[in-house]
Amino acid sequence: MQRWLAGSLMLILVCATAEAQTCRKEKTNQLGTAGADITISSSAVTIANRNTSRCSLYIHNSGANSMRCRDVTNDGAPTSTAGILFESGDEKTIVDTGQGVWQCIRVTSDTSANVSESLP
């Protein structure tokens, strides 16, 4: 029993260590002009291109107005009534499933998004 526990513990530590080393880079506002926040307007704006090796995607509404964001690859483009609602200051990290193309659109007035991608 003790040997089994020691072996299991080592396997867990090896897996945890390998997982922790998977993502080593952080890229911010890849689609923003010169890395600046991305302006979200009345047409859907791509904030992250499809990347199947992306570990996580962080989206922050850094503007004063509401926006909606959606994984276009799986759900289609966002509209002012469809998608994840981000009020001013809201943020969300999407882990593992955020590998598709992501777009945002304003709800009523222009706003801005700050986006960060964790990459291997």
Number of domains the chain is built from: 1
Q: Which residues lie closer than 8 Å to 15 by C-beta, 6 or more apart?
A: none
CATH code of residue 34:
2.60.120.770
User: What residues make up the domain containing 60?
Assistant: 24-119
Residue type, 22: T
Bridge partners of residue 41, in order along the sequence: none
Q: Are the beta carbons of 63 and 86 closer than 8 angstroms? A: no
pTM of the model: 0.80
Task: Tell whether 14 is covered by a domain.
Answer: no
Q: What's the pLDDT at 97?
A: 82
pLDDT digits (tens, 9 = 90+) for 57-105: 999 999 999 999 999 999 999 999 999 999 999 999 999 888 999 999 9
